[in-house]
Structure 1
Amino acid sequence: MSATTPSKPKVVIVGAGVLGLSTALVLCEKFTHPQLEITVIAEYGPHDLSMNAGLTNYPLYTSPWAGAHFRPFPSKNIQEERESKLTRLTLQKFKELAKSNPESSIEFVQGIEYFEKPDHFYKEIAPGFSNEMDNFSVLPTSSLPEGVEMGVKYDTWVVNSPLYLQFLYRKLRFQYKVNFILTKLTSLRHVNSFVSGSPIIINCSGNGLQYDGGNDLSNFPIRGQTLLINPPSDCKFLHTTITHQSKENLWTFVIPRPLHGGIILGGTKQVDESFTGVRDEDTRALLERGRKLYPELMKENPETGEKYFDIVRINVGLRPARKGGLNLSVESKDVYLDRANHVINNYGAGGMGYELSYGAAIAVYEKLLQLVSSKSAL
């Protein structure tokens, strides 16, 4: 009698944002014995070819609209300290990808931050701020712009978010043979209609889709509006990202998008705001702050001498945040039925999706390894 080949453990990742795709990548990289049968199910994502690398406006699919860059900050509580460690795992992975896969669009640049009214966590360089940040230093007071009390600089990464999502998708689809299904789920239990055999579910659904339907009530949106700028060819921000925090707690930043993706000028941070349209007043406020802080982003009309921002598009996205921060809990559902599903959560990152992406995926991998090693999960 010939030996039968054991079936691969089945995993379904719900959500194809940066957390979902990064989780799939980590599982493909690390699960070689046994291999997994991985399916990604999502309503939005780079597997939807109509998205055209993030140029189509789907505000509920936030990942293409991210800046995106890594801006470390001092931890104020235990949850932020945990998340800070995950950002450093992402930092190390991005260092590797920037060298091995330049098509990922990850680029390391100088990061600069200015604070008009820093709190004591910033002033004391509390844990989570400078840790593992190459070339971190506090700027001399004499070099600070008017009205700024404190400044720091460090080496950090920026990424062209639409291109990075496409990079992850292509790697997963064609190198690792991950299955992608484009559909909207009504619940996590709905997964069983697409994949048989009681798959392990990894919930990267952003707003925290629940097993029986509805979303996690601890989740809330943070509305962001930014401008994609076509800068002058000699713009000094092409390899520098700067964040300016005013005493009114307004954050104004410039983030270059590598591989000729323009520069992001932002932004807004409107908690519990779910409006997905463009607000003209937000655009005007961004342009006013941009003229004051980053005039080098402006072009000049050769005929009139008038300075202006060459706006390519206005981005709007809803960052899926959660009270208590990132949810990495494990749940067991329908355990008394034949189709018991184990659920590993990975959602609620808010505006830190890219920063947490690889580190959170490592945490999911460790939890999944325990599940597939136990008889109850197989």
Structure 2
Amino acid sequence: MYDAVVLGSGVVGLSIALEVQSRGIKVAVVARDLAEDSDSFGFASPWAGCNWFSFANGLSDPASDWDRITYKKLEKIAKERPDLCLKVPCWNVYDRPKGLDEELWYKDIVTDYKDLTGSSQNPLPGNKKYCNYFKTWILHAPNYTKYLGEKARSLGIPVIRYRLSSIDEAYNMNSIGKVNLVINATGLGSKALIGVEDDKVYPARGQTVLVKAPWVKECIFHVEGFFANKDGEDETQKAPPQAAYMIPRPGPEGHVVLGGHYRVGDWATNADLVEAERILKDCYNLCPMLAGPDGKSWKDIEVVAHNVGLRPAREGGARMELEERQIGQNGNSTHIAPGSIKNSLGRKVAVVHAYGVGGAGFQNSLGLAEKVSDLAVGYLKSDKSNQAKL
């Protein structure tokens, strides 16, 4: 019935499913949490900021290519759905001059890039001394995720709620039938999914404050060292990095997302109100207009909600690769394997892994989907050729 199954219906999984379908591959999506579950802590997508602000470590980082492709492709989405995606000014301010080795790799990709250090722009946000300016994309995270789910269904891609205990189950589900290719976009689920069990996967807790400030139309970032892990030190032993950013949300609500917070290895999903106060104060210092034309302090900012999400991060960066395997190779005993697995033990199959992107899911989703689809198409062509020979 189907050529492949995508596991996961966050922004990465759904973007992959749509891209794979566009290549002529019949695909189904299976996930514990679905795109419409915008209040679920089971996946990170509904809780993201979110905008395009690359974390890639230069052009040698594969993520730079994913980000570059996504930046270009978001143009089409913005034209079709300006309520979900808009291009706005972005001010990236910092306290010390950047060396040549720290120059933004994407300055020739984004629109209207300028180094405003020493410019007549006075004062810079937060009275910082240095600034890079460019125009970037903002997305309405929960609504964009829902849009991807709705688009998938409209194209005939089934999105099935089901909690898999092992990756082997996905190759022969009753509702889908036999497939030889699975695309694993389970995010944090890859830490515990039998057959994957990647110990390098960890949560990077994020917390934001959603506020109402319809007069704020620009992004401001002060995130120096926000994701740093210098000299090989254990991130879990460090004090949480301090950062501040503000991202307006597309749509008529006039909402702005304030952050930032990055705490490694923390699974807590309740809001930390001390941290929320710190975020409000730091963002007010960057942009007093958050409190409105008549606001006197950070206490005048209109808070809508406190949100917490767990970024699906991975030591060493995201995993994006094709793995050829056999069902049952991870030690599924015939005595304890579910029937769907027991009847297929030893069958040669493959999985394309696409997880561990951390907080970069939206900004590299379309590029990652393109690269994953290249691997999927290549494998399926090879697999069909081998089947024909048999």
Helix, strand or coil: the match of 1:19? Answer: helix
The residue correspondences of 1:189-338 to structure 2 (distance < 5 A) are 189-191=168-170, 192-194=172-174, 195-207=176-188, 208=190, 212-213=194-195, 215-231=197-213, 233=214, 235=215, 237-238=216-217, 240-245=218-223, 250-261=242-253, 262-299=255-292, 308-334=300-326, 337=345
Tell me the CA shift for residue 209 of structure 1.
5.3
CA contact 2:125–2:287 (8 Å) conserved in 1: no
Q: With the length of structure 2 as denominator, give the TM-score of the two structures.
A: 0.82
CA distance in 2, matches of 1:95, 1:77: 22
Helix, strand or coil: the match of 1:358? Answer: helix
The residue correspondences of 1:1-378 to structure 2 (distance < 5 A) are 9-31=2-24, 36-47=25-36, 51=37, 54=38, 56=39, 58-72=40-54, 75=57, 78=60, 81-103=61-83, 105-120=84-99, 125=103, 128-142=105-119, 143=121, 144-145=124-125, 148-174=128-154, 176-191=155-170, 192-194=172-174, 195-207=176-188, 208=190, 212-213=194-195, 215-231=197-213, 233=214, 235=215, 237-238=216-217, 240-245=218-223, 250-261=242-253, 262-299=255-292, 308-334=300-326, 337=345, 339-375=347-383
CA contact 2:9–2:30 (8 Å) conserved in 1: yes
- Cα offsets for 1:227-283 (capped at 9, x unmatched): 00011x4x2x22x11102368963211101101241101110112222111111111
Q: Which amino acid aligns with 1:294?
A: C
Q: Which amino acid aligns with 2:157?
A: V
CA distance in 1, matches of 2:346, 2:195: 20
Q: Which amino acid aligns with 1:243?
A: F
Name the CA shift for 1:295/1:96 in 2 (closer, same or farther; >3 Å): same
CA distance in 2, matches of 1:177, 1:215: 31
- Cα offsets for 1:79-102 (capped at 9, x unmatched): xx2111110101111011111333
Helix, strand or coil: the match of 2:318? Answer: coil
Tell me the CA shift for residue 210 of structure 1.
6.5
Partner of 2:234: none
CA contact 2:2–2:28 (8 Å) conserved in 1: no
Helix, strand or coil: the match of 1:268? Answer: coil
Tell me the CA shift for residue 77 of structure 1.
7.8
Helix, strand or coil: the match of 1:16? Answer: coil
CA contact 2:208–2:307 (8 Å) conserved in 1: yes
CA distance in 1, matches of 2:130, 2:161: 47
Unmatched 5+ stretches in structure 1: 1-7
CA distance in 2, matches of 1:145, 1:177: 47
Q: With the length of structure 1 as denominator, give the TM-score of the two structures.
A: 0.84
CA distance in 1, matches of 2:275, 2:297: 26
CA distance in 1, matches of 2:349, 2:266: 33
Partner of 2:339: none
- Cα offsets for 1:163-201 (capped at 9, x unmatched): 101111111101x11011112111111213343213410
CA contact 2:191–2:199 (8 Å) conserved in 1: no
CA distance in 2, matches of 1:283, 1:306: 11
Name the CA shift for 1:118/1:281 in 2 (closer, same or farther; >3 Å): farther
Unmatched 5+ stretches in structure 2: 227-240, 330-344
- Cα offsets for 1:113-132 (capped at 9, x unmatched): 1011354257x525x23131
Q: Which amino acid aligns with 1:371?
A: Y
Name the CA shift for 1:77/1:221 in 2 (closer, same or farther; >3 Å): farther
Count of residues paired in the alignment = 349
CA distance in 2, matches of 1:77, 1:272: 28
Q: Which amino acid aligns with 2:181?
A: I
Helix, strand or coil: the match of 2:324? Answer: strand
Q: Which amino acid aligns with 2:182?
A: I
Partner of 2:337: none
CA contact 1:75–1:129 (8 Å) conserved in 2: no
- Cα offsets for 1:48-97 (capped at 9, x unmatched): xxx3xx2x2x223110110000113562583xx21111101011110111
- The share of aligned pairs that are identical, in percent, is 27
Helix, strand or coil: the match of 1:373? Answer: helix
Tell me the CA shift for residue 149 of structure 1.
3.3
Tell me the CA shift for residue 219 of structure 1.
0.8
